């Protein structure tokens, strides 16, 4: 690939990153405007709705975020009375989560998909395309002057 062609292609890729980033931000704005919670909070509420009694550790794994980050998000939802934390009868150390009626109503108002437009788009890709994208993005990250690995475990809506 010639220098001119490489430059043109890199600019096209940059435009695609802008489209992705802008689309994600727009979805998060629509979520907050329609139901008053962040995109990550909505995804948590949807996961709790799908699996009542789920614990914070399992929830963090499902969202691919750090457990402490998930705990903070759950605490915010609990303080707003959108999630109820309940101790297990069989193991008092285990805390399960369930939605309040208000949270269930907010989920119905929220724009789809609850998990966000980017995770939804990624999960729709064929496996071979996902592997190629993963490898390519890894190479892009290697070229960055600044790379903060801790950002990998934060929700996109919190970046």
Tokens matching residue 5: 């062609």
Percent of the chain exceeding pLDDT 90 equals 69
The predicted pLDDT at position 23 comes to 93
Tokens matching residue 158: 């919190």
What would the pLDDT profile of 97-120 be if each residue is shown by its tens digit? 999 999 999 999 888 888 889 999
What would the pLDDT profile of 69-99 be if each residue is shown by its tens digit? 999 999 999 999 999 998 867 766 778 999 9
| Count of domains observed in the chain | 1
Tell me, what CATH number does 64's domain have? 1.10.10.10
Q: Which domain holds residue 134?
A: 3-158
The predicted pLDDT at position 112 comes to 87
The predicted pLDDT at position 22 comes to 93
Does the model's pTM come out above 0.85? no
What would the pLDDT profile of 15-70 be if each residue is shown by its tens digit? 999 999 999 999 999 999 998 999 999 999 999 999 999 999 999 999 999 999 99
The predicted pLDDT at position 92 comes to 66
pLDDT at 9 exceeding the cut of 90? yes
The predicted pLDDT at position 123 comes to 93
State the DSSP string of 70-112: HHHHHHHHHHTTSEEEEE-SS-TT-EEEEE-HHHHHHHHHSPS
Tokens matching residue 153: 């475990």
Which of 71, 37, 72 lies closest to 56, judged by CA? Answer: 71
Which of 77, 100, 96, 98 lies closest to 87, judged by CA? Answer: 96
Q: Bin 117: left if φ > 0, else alpha if -120 < ψ < 50, else beta.
A: alpha
């Amino acid at each position: 690939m010639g220098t001119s062609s490489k430059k043109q292609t890199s600019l096209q890729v940059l435009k695609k990153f802008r489209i992705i980033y802008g689309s994600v931000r727009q979805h998060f704005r629509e979520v907050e405007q329609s139901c008053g919670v962040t995109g990550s909070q909505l995804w948590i509420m949807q996961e709790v709705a799908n699996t009542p009694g789920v614990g914070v550790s399992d929830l963090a794994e499902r969202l691919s975020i750090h457990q402490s980050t998930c705990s903070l998000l759950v605490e915010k939802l609990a303080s707003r009375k959108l999630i109820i934390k309940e101790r297990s009868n069989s193991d008092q150390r285990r805390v399960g989560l369930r939605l309040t009626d208000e949270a269930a109503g907010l989920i119905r108002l929220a724009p789809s998909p609850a998990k966000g437009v980017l995770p939804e788009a990624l999960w729709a890709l064929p496996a071979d395309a996902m592997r190629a994208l993963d490898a390519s993005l890894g190479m892009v990250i290697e070229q960055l002057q600044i790379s903060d690995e801790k950002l990998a475990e934060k929700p996109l809506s919190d970046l």
